[in-house]
Amino acid sequence: MIGRLNHVAIAVPDLEAASEQYRTALGASVGAPQDEPDHGVTVVFIELPNTKIELLYPLGEESPIQGFLDKNPSGGIHHVCYEVEDILAARDHLVQSGARVLGTGEPKTGAHGKPVLFLHPKDFNGCLVELEQV
């Protein structure tokens, strides 16, 4: 069912410093910051040859990233995103297998303009899993 790893998201306490580090110390191709007000984050995408790293920084008062950074002030790996062909079929299959979908259970539009869902990290070895329909 799951396809490609679309991205790994890393929450960072300083988006400019993290971008600069990936650009110069790690020598990667780093994009410009993009505000995603619907998701309460500013994101920077790092293009690797086979997938992306998504740097996440809080945007606005109710950012879902702020609590994570409060607990992990240095930052940390926040989630992985797997691609699926049919997000509703994937959701229904996962719910039948006992997994919990976060929020209303209905897909939202993600940072790439595609439908996304998040699965409960407690059901996936402490790993927050995003599914994105491609």
Q: What is the pattern of x (binds its own copies, CB under 8 A) and - over residues 35-74?
A: -------------xxxx-x-x----------------x-x
130 is catalytic: yes
CA distances from 14 to 11, 17, 47 (A): 9, 5, 19
Backbone angles phi, psi at 90, to 5 degrees: -60, -45
Burial class (CB in 10 A: 0-12, 13-18, 19+), 11: buried
The Cα–Cα gap between 134 and 131 comes to 10
Q: What is the pattern of x (binds its own copies, CB under 8 A) and - over residues 107-126?
A: --------------xx-xxx
Question: Cβ closer to its own copies: 74 or 104?
Answer: 74
- Site of tokens 């439908």: 115
Enumerate binding residues for its own copies (CB under 8 A): 1-5, 8, 10-13, 18, 21, 24-28, 48-51, 53, 55, 72, 74-77, 79-80, 82, 93-94, 97-99, 121-122, 124-127
